Structure 1
Amino acid sequence: MATEPKHDVFQAIADPTRRSLLQLLVDQEMPVNVISGHYSMSRTAVSKHLRVLQEAGLVKERKVGRETRYRLEPEPLLELKRWLSYYERFWENKLQALKRFVEEDMPAGEPSGPLKIVEGKPEE
């Protein structure tokens, strides 16, 4: 029987350091001493962040001799993607409404580029 993660994905990625750790591990597996070399915090602090990511299922560890290596486990991020995709439709609706507003407000034949400002006033 599999145990439930102690931290959820949302909790785990809430911290900018942990998001940075995930980015670091995207392309390759790394030992903790190499990972900690990328940060100005102690190896112990990096290990604590890795433990939170591991408890959320975002990072897996593997022993190679005396070394522990960490790698990204991206599957739990699908939960985040599904959650965000639901709200994406609201953003898309707002962008479409803004586009309609801008296009309706613009007189025909006017340039669609940005206005040039001269002495604090739009240039005519």
Structure 2
Amino acid sequence: MTSSEQLGFRALADTTRRDILKLLANSELTIAEVADNFDMTRAAIKKHLTILSDGGLIEVRVEGRARINALNPDGIKRVFDWFGFFDAFWDDRLTSLKYAIEKDTQ
């Protein structure tokens, strides 16, 4: 696992950051707009956004004095693909177990 992937998973480890990603899935938001949805300071939200950005899950662009935060589909896809591997792994294992149990009961 690369350091970028590790940072992505670190970012996902926190419920607040997962909630921020859900917000950003609907629209691009400034730090203040994100903070309006949580009972915490803008500084705390900024830290969460920095972790999400470091993990490649969001992109930040500057427009004048505002920092606009947007979901990074490529970053989300990397995480999804990693989980997809294990989803397929467990599907195969559970299918094999099902067939073994059915074979033994016949």
TM > 0.5 fold call: yes
CA distance in 1: counterparts of 2:52 and 2:14, whole angstroms = 10
Unaligned 5+ segments in structure 2 are none
The higher radius of gyration belongs to: 1
2:44 corresponds to 1:45 = yes
CA distance in 2: counterparts of 1:71 and 1:89, whole angstroms = 30
- 1:1-12 to 2 correspondences below 5 Å: 8-12=7-11
Describe the SS at the equivalent of 1:25. Answer: helix
Structure 1's consecutive aligned runs of 4 or more residues displaced over 4 angstroms after TM superposition are: 97-102
- In the alignment of these two chains, the number of paired residues is 102
Q: Which has the higher contact order (CA 8 A, sep 6+)?
A: 2
Bigger Cα displacement from structure 2, 35-44 vs 60-69: 60-69
Unaligned 5+ segments in structure 1 are 106-124
- 1:1-124 to 2 correspondences below 5 Å: 8-93=7-92, 95-96=94-95
CA apart distance, 1:98: 7.1
RMSD of aligned alpha carbons:
2.6
Normalised by the size of structure 2, how large is the TM-score? 0.77
CA distance in 2: counterparts of 1:54 and 1:12, whole angstroms = 9
Identity of aligned residues (%): 31
CA distance in 1: counterparts of 2:50 and 2:17, whole angstroms = 10
Normalised by the size of structure 1, how large is the TM-score? 0.67
CA apart distance, 1:95: 4.7
More helix as a share of residues:
2
Per-residue CA deviation, residues 61-120 of structure 1 (Å, 9 max, x unaligned), is 122222221111120222222222221133323554676658x97xxxxxxxxxxxxxxx
